[in-house]
């Protein structure tokens, strides 16, 4: 093939990507054509010359990762997947944005083959990619480049660069020197409302250079220029790379190119025809791909398959390769038998944040992918693997990481670690700062990412720090996220059970809500099947009534001890009282109705206690029940004073229970 023929064919490939995006969006009468039209050249260069993948095995662990952080341009990625032979057909492209199609409005992991992470909320993809690049660096350091050796490529837009989560993540990536992270910036100067100069006039390249990134500039429509920039980025050996691709949004559209009007709306039938004529496509043909394009882009697929198969053979040939396979496909089904679960005598005092540390040490030898750290709060959350060091630039062997005060990027990067594979990531901070993490927590739940979110200082009993640090509403907010499980354990035994659930729950994130203050170890001798089996049901009978059952007190976390103390008083007065510990509302709600009615029978009066909002507890106590909680913000005072102020006392619990029965 002559050089001129090659250039012409590469231009046709990019033009075809533009045409497929235009047609899919026009047929759906919905979508964002500007970005796919503007980045078609750069994306074609990346995929045709650099990206390592095998369409016949989209989940090959040593593939390069491609993340479309500017997820509104999803038709660009769908077009690429189809053209290279992934299991995505022309018919799938025609169903863009339709119910149950393989081509939803934004890329969704687990929904479309070849999609690495769910993107759309801007900046998230870049932050996820930082986690992916970190995962690759750690596995390469442990298992060697013969077994793990790939890059993470990202396409970002102006919106990604404006979002704070991307800045947090980029700062961390530069600090860690993640040199196999390459970001292509669609620098078109346009956002939904108009020119980015309305709000965004900073020197983005200068900012990333200050983060210690390798920064380059290129013409995003000059394929040779893009290729040279990517080659330079791959040659960089000590820092991540940013390539600012100067592009024209909606390139090829006679009337709309360079305008914000092409960002988020179909071109319209007349402009579709005019654009196709302008870029050399037949306006009478829709979803058309020339045979030469298929042949050119799929010609290397046999070599791609052979590369993947050779990698699999290398892994099968030695012990280190088998260990890597085990890391990538972990089996936690026998965790109960393998782990020596920490314990302590009934009545022994220990904060559940410190209990969590003991459990982490017990789990670490049996969960080799366990890796994480805190947002500059390691000495407060105790979420560390004490036997291991910390990753830093050039040394990725440690199992702990200093995330810095970057709660949002920390959680998004953990999503990237999870989607990459080989890791069970954990992150930690104070519970009140869940609000800084929430968008990434939501995406973890949407994607089904296994990630453990360790929250400490989980109530007003933080004390003197005051209402800014007292998360009265946070538990309720977390419990409404679909596919998200919150556990608020009451002692060391329940904390071990909560961690076990988090490790074995591989299809979504798990939150552990832990105390700052010491709590006494409970007597779990009445738990049928043991405490870990009981906690797995979300709620269980901790203490049964002596005599006729008159009232049930149900509580979570630190308030379970209050319920136990109140029961002693009520029983002494002849009032048969059952105590139910409910560490997880979500897990309890998932139990069969018969079990739920056995634990909380309808005909018995119920009282709930939790140092947080009472809203939500009416589902468990019923219309004839009552709840003790905090429906306002907290206050700055010693914890014992706050307990009196907000009615979290034995006297108040006893009085409320008696009032229910009167």
pLDDT reported for residue 392 = 96
- Residue ending a domain, choose from 520, 555, 584: 520
Same domain, 119 and 213: yes
User: 607 in a domain, yes or no?
Assistant: yes
In the structure encoding, which two tokens stand for residue 442, read together? 């939501």
**Is residue 190 located within the same domain as residue 45?**
yes
Helix (H, G, I), strand (E, B) or coil at 247: coil
**DSSP state letters, 263-332:** TSS---HHHHHHHHHHHT--TT-SS---HHHHHHHHTTHHHHHHHHHHHHHHHHTSHHHHHHHHHHS---
Query: What's residue 3's pLDDT?
Result: 63
CATH number at residue 651: 3.40.50.920
Rounded to whole angstroms, how far apart are CA atoms 492 and 136? 34
Q: 639 and 512, same structural domain?
A: no
pLDDT in tens, 170-180: 999 999 999 99
> Is-catalytic flag, 271?
no
d(CA 178, CA 616): 44
Within this chain, do residues 297 and 360 fall inside the same structural domain, yes or no?
A: no
Of 397, 399, 391, 420, which is closest to residue 328 (Cα–Cα)? Answer: 420
Are 141 and 397 contacting, i.e. CB atoms less than 8 angstroms apart? yes
> What whole-number distance in Å separates Cα of residue 108 and Cα of residue 391?
30
Residue 25 lies in a domain: yes
Q: What CATH number is associated with residue 511?
A: 3.40.50.970
pLDDT at res. 1: 60
Residue 199 and residue 60 share a domain: yes
Distance CA(539)–CA(497), nearest Å, equals 12
Distances (CA, A) of 523 to 346, 409, 526, 532, 572: 6, 40, 8, 13, 19
- Same domain? For 284 and 350 the reply is no
Partner residues linked to 486 by β-bridges: 511
166-204 pLDDT tens trace: 999 999 999 999 999 999 999 999 999 999 999 999 999
Indicate if 409 and 544 belong to the same structural domain: no
If you compute the radius of gyration of the chain from its CA atoms, what whole number of angstroms results? 28
DSSP per residue, 346-399? TT-EEEHHHHHHHHHHHHGGG-TTEEEEESS-HHHH--S-TTS-B-BTTB---S
Place of tokens 């593939």: 63
**pLDDT value, residue 7:** 65
Whether 311 maps to a domain, the answer reads no
Percent of the chain with pLDDT over 90: 98
pLDDT, tens only, 425-437: 999 999 999 999 9
Please indicate, yes or no, if residue 310 is contained in any of the structural domains.
no
How many whole angstroms from its chain centre is CA 578?
38
Query: pLDDT value at position 5?
Result: 66
Total domain count for the chain?
A: 3
Low-confidence stretches of the chain (pLDDT beneath 70): 1-7
Question: What pLDDT, in 10s, does the model give residues 6-15?
Answer: 669 999 999 9
514 and 627 housed in the same domain: no
Residues 254 and 299 in one domain: yes
How far, in Å, CA of 42 to CA of 402, rounded? 35
For 42, the token pair is 């750069």
Structure tokens at 150: 């790939």
State whether 198 and 291 are in the same domain.
yes
The residue from 520, 555, 582 where one domain ends is: 520
Domain end: 479, 495, 520, which one?
520
Residues 542 and 511 in one domain: no
Per DSSP, what are the bridge partners of residue 541? Answer: 580
Please answer whether residues 187 and 239 qualify as being in contact, where contact means their C-beta atoms are separated by less than 8 angstroms.
no
Tokens 């990434």 — which residue? 440
70 inside domain:
yes
Q: Which of 136, 407, 586, 610 is catalytic?
A: 407
Q: Where are the beta strands (DSSP E) in 447-573?
A: 452-456, 485-487, 510-513, 518-520, 540-543, 549-555
Output the pLDDT for position 141: 97
In the predicted model, what is the mean pLDDT of the chain?
A: 97
Quick one: pLDDT at residue 662? 87
Residue 527 maps to a domain: no
pLDDT of residue 119: 98
| Domain contains 233 | yes
Q: Does residue 552 lie in a domain region?
A: yes
| Adjacent-strand bridge partners of 551 | 577, 605
What is the domain range of residue 91?
3-304
Q: Are residues 238 and 279 in the same domain?
A: yes
393: exposed, middle or buried (Cβ count in 10 Å: 0-12, 13-18, 19+): middle
Record the pTM: 0.97
């Amino acid at each position: 093939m002559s050089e001129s023929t090659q250039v012409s064919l590469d231009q046709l490939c990019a033009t075809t990507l533009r045409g497929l995006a235009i047609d899919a969006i026009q047929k759906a009468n919905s979508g964002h054509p500007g970005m796919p039209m503007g980045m078609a050249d750069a994306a074609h260069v990346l995929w045709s010359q650099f990206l390592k993948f095998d369409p016949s095995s989209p989940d090959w662990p040593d593939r390069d990762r491609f993340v479309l952080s500017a997820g509104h341009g999803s038709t660009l990625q769908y077009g690429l997947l189809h053209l290279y032979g992934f299991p995505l057909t022309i018919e799938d492209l025609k169903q863009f944005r339709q119910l149950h199609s393989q081509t939803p409005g934004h890329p969704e992991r687990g929904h479309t083959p070849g999609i690495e992470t769910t993107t759309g909320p801007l900046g998230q993809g870049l932050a996820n990619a930082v986690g992916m690049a970190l995962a690759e660096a750690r596995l390469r350091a442990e298992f060697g480049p013969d077994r793990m050796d790939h890059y993470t490529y990202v396409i970002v837009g102006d919106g990604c660069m404006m979002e704070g989560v991307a800045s947090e993540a980029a700062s961390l990536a530069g600090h860690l020197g993640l040199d196999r992270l390459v970001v292509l910036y669609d620098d078109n100067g346009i956002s939904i409302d108009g020119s980015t100069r309305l709000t965004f006039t900073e020197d983005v390249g200068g900012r990333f250079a200050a983060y210690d990134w390798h920064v380059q500039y290129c013409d995003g429509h000059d394929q040779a220029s893009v290729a040279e920039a990517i080659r330079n980025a791959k040659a960089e050996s000590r820092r991540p790379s940013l390539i600012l691709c100067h592009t024209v949004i909606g390139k090829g559209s006679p009337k709309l190119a360079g305008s914000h009007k092409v960002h988020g709306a179909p071109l319209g039938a007349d402009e579709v025809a005019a654009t196709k004529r302008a870029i050399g496509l037949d306006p009478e043909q829709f979803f058309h791909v020339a045979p030469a394009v298929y042949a050119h882009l799929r010609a290397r697929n046999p070599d791609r398959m052979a590369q993947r198969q050779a990698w699999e053979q290398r892994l099968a040939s030695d012990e280190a390769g088998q260990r890597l396979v085990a890391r990538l496909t972990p089996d936690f089904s026998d965790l109960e038998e393998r782990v020596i679960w920490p314990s302590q005598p009934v009545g022994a005092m220990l904060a559940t944040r410190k209990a969590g540390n003991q459990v982490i040490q017990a789990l670490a030898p049996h969960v080799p992918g366990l890796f994480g750290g805190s947002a500059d709060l390691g000495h407060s959350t105790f979420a560390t693997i004490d036997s291991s060091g910390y990753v830093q630039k050039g040394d990725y062997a440690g199992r702990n990481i200093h995330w810095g005060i970057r709660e949002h990027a920390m959680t998004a990067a953990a999503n990237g670690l999870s989607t990459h594979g080989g890791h069970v990531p954990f992150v930690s901070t104070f519970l009140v700062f869940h609000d800084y993490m929430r968008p990434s927590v939501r995406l973890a739940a949407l994607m089904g990412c296994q990630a453990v979110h360790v929250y400490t200082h989980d109530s007003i009993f933080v004390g003197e720090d005051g209402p800014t640090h007292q998360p009265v509403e946070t538990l309720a907010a977390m419990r409404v996220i679909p596919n998200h499980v919150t556990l608020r354990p009451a002692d060391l035994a329940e904390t071990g059970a909560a961690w076990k659930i988090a490790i074995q729950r591989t299809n979504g994130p798990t939150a552990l809500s832990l105390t700052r203050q010491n709590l006494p170890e409970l007597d779990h001798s009445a738990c049928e099947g043991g405490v870990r089996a009981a906690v797995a049901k979300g709620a269980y009978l901790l203490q049964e009534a002596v005599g006729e059952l008159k009232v049930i007190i149900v509580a979570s976390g630190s308030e379970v001890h209050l319920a136990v103390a109140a029961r002693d008083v009520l029983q002494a007065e002849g009032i048969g009282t059952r105590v139910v510990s409910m560490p997880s509302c979500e897990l309890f709600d998932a139990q069969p109705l018969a079990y739920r009615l056995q634990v909380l029978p309808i005909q018995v009066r119920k009282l709930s206690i939790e140092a947080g909002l009472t809203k939500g507890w009416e589902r468990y106590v019923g219309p004839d029940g009552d709840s003790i909680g905090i429906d306002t913000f907290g206050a700055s005072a010693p914890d014992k004073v706050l307990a009196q102020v907000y009615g979290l006392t034995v006297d108040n619990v006893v009085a409320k229970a008696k009032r229910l029965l009167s």
